Structure 1
Amino acid sequence: MKSVCCGFCIVVFSTAVCDGFLFDVRADCLVSTWSTWTPVPGLGMHIRERGVLRYDNQGGTPCPPDDELRQVKTDYNPTTSRHANIQATARSMSANFIRGVANPQNPQATGQKRDLLIILDSSGSIGSSNFYKTKQNLAELLGMLCPDPDPFAQLYQHAALIDFAGSTNEIFDFNKYQHTSTLKNGILAVPYLGGITCTTKAFTVALNMFSKWKGMRTQSDVVQEVLILTDGQSNCGGAVATAAKELQKKATVFTLLIGSFTQRGVNEIASYVTTPVPKHLFAVKQLQDLDSLIAELRKQRSIQKCMPFNLP
C-alpha cells in the first residue's frame, strides 16, 4: 500500500510512517525505569520519577496516572538540624533558580534572561501579618537574581504577579516594572485576600499571562518561568494536576513550599513543578524559616557570581 505523508512516500505494508510517527497501529504505553531516589531539599523526603517514553495508541495498554509516575518516601532524620535543612534548600535554590551554575564545558555561556511569573498564595491559612512577611522575603529574594546589581532592569529580567485565594487577581503584568527597586515596592503593595486555596483557578489565570498582550517576550534568548509560593494544598476542587501540566507547557515551573506535608500532599505539590522535581521544588518547614533561608541565599550570592549577559 502506498501512503503519502510529510512530503514523501514510504511503503511499509499497510502502515504509514511519517517522520517517526505511526498511525493506525496498536501500541502499548511505554514508561522509563525509575530514577534514583533524590532528596527534596527542606522536606525530609526523597522522590523518584519515571517518564512516558511512548503513549498508548489504538487500544494499547494505557499509561499510568500521573501520580503513579512519581513516588515519595519519608526520610526524616531526627539528627539532621533545622539549620542543615535550610542550608540544603538554599544551595539548591541558588544553583537551580536564583544564581545558576556556570557550565565548565561551555565557559563562554551567558546568563539567561527570563519572564518570571510569580503566583503568590494569599489564602486564609497564612494570615495577614505572615503574608506581609512573605512579601518582604519575596522582594529580597528577587533582588538576588542575576545580573547584579539590578536584575530587573529593562533589558534583563521581567516579572508579572498574580495572587490567589478563593479568587485570583492579576496584580501586574510583564510590562509594569523596569527596575528592581520599583518591582520590590509593587510586591509590598500586593493586597491580602484570605479565604480558601483555589490553586486550579490561579493556574488558569497564569496561562493567560503568558501572551504578548501581557508583555511576554518572544525572543529566543528569553525563557519563561513561574515561581509559586504556597503553604498548602488546593482545597476548593478542580483538576489541579491537569491545570499544572498545561502551565508547564508554557513555562518552567518552580515552587517554594512553606510547611510540612503528608506524602499525599507532597505528591500534589510535586505535580505543580517541572521535572526533575528536586531541582524545581524547594521547601522550608515553617514561615519563620524564610528569614533564615534568605540569609543563606545571601551567603550563596557572595560565593556564586553571575555569568555575563550578552546584550546588543
Structure 2
Amino acid sequence: MKLFTICLLMCLVFNQGQATSKPVASFLRNFFGSCEVSQWSPWSSRPISGCSTVTRTRTIIRQGRNCPTELSQSETRCGRPSALETATSLRRSFLGSFSVSAAAFDSRVGSASQPPPVDLLFVLDKSGSVGFNHFATLIEHVQTLINQFPVPIASDQTRIAAISFSSANQVDLDFNFNACNSKATCVASVRQIDFEGGWTHTTRALNKARNEAFTTANGSRQNAHKVLFLITDGHSNGGGDVQAAANALKETGTEIYALAVTDNVNEDELKDIVSEPIPDHLFYYQSFHAMASASRFLMISRVTV
C-alpha cells in the first residue's frame, strides 16, 4: 500500500507541468531503475622493473538501484610486465593519448576538441643482435601500431616517417613525412625496410631524427606535435652521448617513447631518453615472441588485463 501511495503521488506531481516532471522523472529512474556502470578502465602503466602499484577505475553512468561503492581498485605488481600488460599500456598511454577525445592534449600541446596534427617518427633498431627473423617481427609490430593509430593518417592530420639504424654508415631515413598519406601506404612503406645488422648507434639515429627527419624539407610541419617512437633490443654502443641527443630533441618539443625488447636493454639509458612521465613512455617485451603475441592483442578493439 505504501509503495502504491508513493507511485500515485509521483504521478500526480508528474502531471503538474514540465518544470516539475523532469526532476520527478529523474527521481523515478533513480528509485526504480537499475544502476548503469562503465567497464573498468585498463590498469595504469608501471615501470618495466621492480614493484609498483597499479590502479583502475570505473564510473557510474546512471544512478539507480544497487550502485556499487567500489569505483577504483589497486594492486601491487612486481617484475617485468607481461606481453598483455605491455599491449594494454601501449593502447592506453601511447595510442590512447593521440585519440581525438584524449584529454592529454589539453595539458600537452593543444585541446581535446581540436588536437594538433601529429608527425610520428618510428626509429627502428636493425643491429645484429636483433637478427633477420626478429626484425620481421618488429616490422609487423610497427605495422600493427600504424593500423591501430586512432587519428587518420593524411597530409593534414597524422604523418608518418621511419628511420632504421645500426652502425655508423647504416643509419637511414627510410621514408620521410611526405612518403605516405594513408595507413595502407605507410604500412607498405614500413614493409620495405631491410634488416642490415651491425652495431647499435642510437645516438646517431636520434641526431638524424632532429637534423634531418623533423625538418620541413622532409615533410615535417612547424605546427605539428612531433613524436618519436624508438624500438630497440639493446643499448647504444657508439655514436656519442645518447642522453644529450635525446635532450636536444626534447628541447625542440619532441615527445619520445621507447619500446625495449629482451633483457639486453639498458633500462637506465632508456629512462634518460624518453619523455616524462617515464611509465607512460617506456614499454617492455621480454622477447620478440612476446612482441608477436602483443601484436595480436593490440588488434583486439579493447585490451584489458
- TM category, shorter: 0.5 to 0.7
Post-superposition offset of 1:172: 0.9
Cα deviation 1:196-254 (Å, max 9, x = unaligned): 111111111111121111111123xx311000011010112511111111122231000
Cross-structure match for 1:244:
246
Q: 1:201 to 1:171 in 2, by over 3 A?
A: same
Cα deviation 1:92-140 (Å, max 9, x = unaligned): 2112211337449x89634553101110100000111211221112112
Percent of pairs identical after alignment? Answer: 26
Cross-structure match for 1:233:
235
Cross-structure match for 1:93:
90
Q: Is the CA contact (8 Å cut-off) linking 2:51 and 2:77 kept in structure 1?
A: no
Q: 1:112 to 1:93 in 2, by over 3 A?
A: farther
Cα deviation 1:46-88 (Å, max 9, x = unaligned): 59xxxxxxxxxxxxxxxxxxxxxxxxxxx9847xxx8x72232
Q: Is the CA contact (8 Å cut-off) linking 2:263 and 2:286 kept in structure 1?
A: yes
Q: Is residue 2:160 matched to residue 1:173?
A: no
One-letter code of the match for 1:236?
G
Q: Is the CA contact (8 Å cut-off) linking 1:111 and 1:146 kept in structure 2?
A: no
Q: Is residue 2:41 matched to residue 1:39?
A: no
Post-superposition offset of 1:296: 2.3
Question: What is the RMSD computed on CA atoms of the aligned residues?
Answer: 2.8
Q: How far apart, CA to CA, are the structure 1 residues paired with 2:135 and 2:84?
A: 23
Total equivalences in the alignment? 226
Q: 1:108 to 1:205 in 2, by over 3 A?
A: closer
Q: Is the CA contact (8 Å cut-off) linking 1:39 and 1:45 kept in structure 2?
A: no
One-letter code of the match for 1:277?
I
Q: How far apart, CA to CA, are the structure 2 residues paired with 1:249 and 1:168?
A: 22
Cross-structure match for 2:38:
none
SS at match of 1:232: coil
Q: Is the CA contact (8 Å cut-off) linking 1:90 and 1:296 kept in structure 2?
A: yes
Q: How far apart, CA to CA, are the structure 2 residues paired with 1:258 and 1:86?
A: 11
Q: How far apart, CA to CA, are the structure 2 residues paired with 1:275 and 1:139?
A: 25
One-letter code of the match for 1:228?
L
Q: How far apart, CA to CA, are the structure 1 residues paired with 2:131 and 2:260?
A: 16
Q: Is the CA contact (8 Å cut-off) linking 2:233 and 2:264 kept in structure 1?
A: no
Instruction: Using structure 1 for the length normalisation, give the TM-score.
Output: 0.66
SS at match of 1:158: strand
Cross-structure match for 1:192:
195
Q: How far apart, CA to CA, are the structure 1 residues paired with 2:278 and 2:124?
A: 20
Cross-structure match for 1:139:
143
Post-superposition offset of 1:154: 2.7
Q: Is the CA contact (8 Å cut-off) linking 1:44 and 1:76 kept in structure 2?
A: no
One-letter code of the match for 1:224?
K
Cα deviation 1:141-165 (Å, max 9, x = unaligned): 1110113xxx313322101111000
Computing the radius of gyration from Cα coordinates, the structure with the larger value is 2
Question: After the TM superposition, which residues 109-188 of structure 1 pair with which residues of structure 2 at under 5 Å, given as runs?
Answer: 109-147=113-151, 151-166=152-167, 167-188=170-191
SS at match of 1:143: helix
Unpaired stretches in structure 2, ≥5 consecutive residues: 1-44, 53-75
Question: After the TM superposition, which residues 192-231 of structure 1 pair with which residues of structure 2 at under 5 Å, given as runs?
Answer: 192-208=195-211, 209-219=213-223, 222-231=224-233
Q: How far apart, CA to CA, are the structure 2 residues paired with 1:99 and 1:108?
A: 12
Q: How far apart, CA to CA, are the structure 2 residues paired with 1:246 and 1:112?
A: 22
Q: 1:110 to 1:96 in 2, by over 3 A?
A: farther
One-letter code of the match for 2:246?
A
One-letter code of the match for 1:211?
T
Q: How far apart, CA to CA, are the structure 2 residues paired with 1:210 and 1:286?
A: 31
Q: How far apart, CA to CA, are the structure 1 residues paired with 2:137 and 2:112?
A: 39
Q: 1:77 to 1:302 in 2, by over 3 A?
A: closer
Cross-structure match for 2:40:
none
Q: Is the CA contact (8 Å cut-off) linking 1:196 and 1:236 kept in structure 2?
A: yes
Unpaired stretches in structure 1, ≥5 consecutive residues: 1-37, 48-74, 305-312
Larger helix share, 1 or 2: 2
